Amino acid sequence: MHAILSESLSKTYRSGITGKQPIIALANFSVEVAPGQIFSLLGPNGAGKTTFVKILLSLTHPTSGRASILGRQLPDVKVRERIGYLPENHRYPGYLTGEQLLRSFGQLGGIHRSALRSRINPLMELVGVAQWRSMKVRKYSKGMMQRLGLAQALINDPELLFLDEPTDGVDPVGRKEIRDILLNLKAQGKTIFLNSHLLSEVELISDRVAILDKGTLLKIGTVDELTSVGPEYLIGIGADLTEGFLHEASALLLKLSYTSDSISAQLSSTEELNKLIDLLRKYGIEITSIVKKRSTLEDSFINLLKKEVVS
Ligand SMILES: Nc1ncnc2c1ncn2[C@@H]1O[C@H](COP(=O)(O)OP(=O)(O)OP(=O)(O)O)[C@@H](O)[C@H]1O
Ligand SMILES: [Mg+2]
């Protein structure tokens, strides 16, 4: 059974304003998420990420296509008991304390009072807001609010967690803490679906990633699959490159750019790397360092989007 299965899902919003074009928020979007994985949906503003999550939560309905979560064909309201959701830009009633907020969400979700009593404190500890449990939510900072939102999403001990931009407004230490919490939840067997712009963060924890732009799936795969094309090497050199070296390097079709103390080389194999090293030695150019730069998911994401703009 898939945790999430989407088959050719499309969503068109009627703009509502006469004469305006309808907005295609999702176009034939198909994706599978296996149970127990951390899956991330990446894309620029307006790509359709939130629309997709809202369809999976039956908060809005697709124009065409089918989807199911936890084996239940959508729309299905009952399945919400088994999922948690942290919406983007959530607003909580400011007059409640953090603790009261979690209690009311738990009660709304039908969790028994006694179960809630034993659940709220450990959850507040887990997300790092226990010291502010009696403070009114209106006084919470943005990062504190995100942590509370995460606790809210976990209040029913869900099997599947949807988090829309969970680290928005959280400081770097807090972001690392949230990543650790998510890895911990994964270790407990939960499935986590993340929407994010923070590409560099997502690549640290995601099993699989999909890149969405203008409602269309551009690429999907593991982080390694999306970043492994053409590694770049940065080679420190102790002397200027000579004419002879450059001539031979170009004859070997090596793709180089260089300064007086370094070479940047886009190489397709270690064989090419060794050819380059042999050539540097042949011309007596001292090598001071070699670093393999891994293309980050952010690089490949931006490259993909650039290609979209050109085509
Ligand atoms: N209720 C709505 N009515 C009309 N258009 C909508 C509605 N909700 C979303 N849209 C449009 O659908 C497209 C996708 O929006 P969506 O919120 O899914 O994007 P997103 O990827 O979550 O963006 P962001 O990163 O900014 O949160 C956008 O063009 C948006 O303006
Ligand atoms: Mg969104």
Domain 232-294 classification at class level: alpha beta
Cα gap 184→206, rounded to integer Å: 13
- Residue whose CA is closest, atom 8 of ligand 1? 51
Residue of 9, 14, 23, 55 to test ligand 1 pocket, by largest number of atoms within 8 Å of CB: 23
Average pLDDT over residues 1-19: 87
Average pLDDT over residues 55-66: 95
Which ligand 1 atom is the nearest neighbour of the CA of 48? 18
Which ligand 1 atom is the nearest neighbour of the CA of 165? 27
pLDDT digits 0-9 by tens, 86-111: 999 888 999 999 999 999 999 998 89
Q: Across the chain, what does the average pLDDT equal?
A: 89
Q: What share of the chain is helix, strand, coil (3-state, %, to 5)?
A: 40, 25, 35
**Predicted confidence (pLDDT) at residue 311 exceeds the cutoff of 60:** no
Q: Please tell me which residue, 226 or 275, carries the higher pLDDT value.
A: 275
Helix (H, G, I), strand (E, B) or coil at 7: strand
- Residue whose CA is closest, atom 6 of ligand 1? 13
Number of alpha carbons in the 13 Å side-chain half-sphere of residue 264: 7
pLDDT digits 0-9 by tens, 107-158: 998 899 899 999 999 999 999 999 999 999 999 998 899 999 999 999 999 9
* pLDDT at residue 226, rounded to an integer: 75
* pLDDT at residue 254, rounded to an integer: 75
Residue of 12, 40, 51 to test ligand 1 pocket, by largest number of atoms within 8 Å of CB: 51
Contact 211, 219 (CB under 8 A): yes
- pTM for the whole structure: 0.79
Average pLDDT over residues 40-47: 89
Ligand 1 centre to CA of 52 (Å) is 10
Beta strands in the chain (DSSP E): 4-13, 23-33, 38-42, 64-69, 72-73, 83-86, 160-164, 191-196, 208-213, 216-221, 232-237, 255-258, 262-266, 287-293
Pocket around ligand 1: residues whose beta carbon is below 6 Å from it? Answer: 13, 23, 25, 43, 45-51, 88
Considering only CA atoms, which of 26, 33, 94 is closest in space to residue 61?
A: 26
Domain ranges of the chain: 4-223, 232-294
Contact 164, 50 (CB under 8 A): yes
Give the CATH number of domain 4-223; options: 2.60.40.1180, 3.40.50.300, 3.40.640.10, 3.40.50.1100. 3.40.50.300
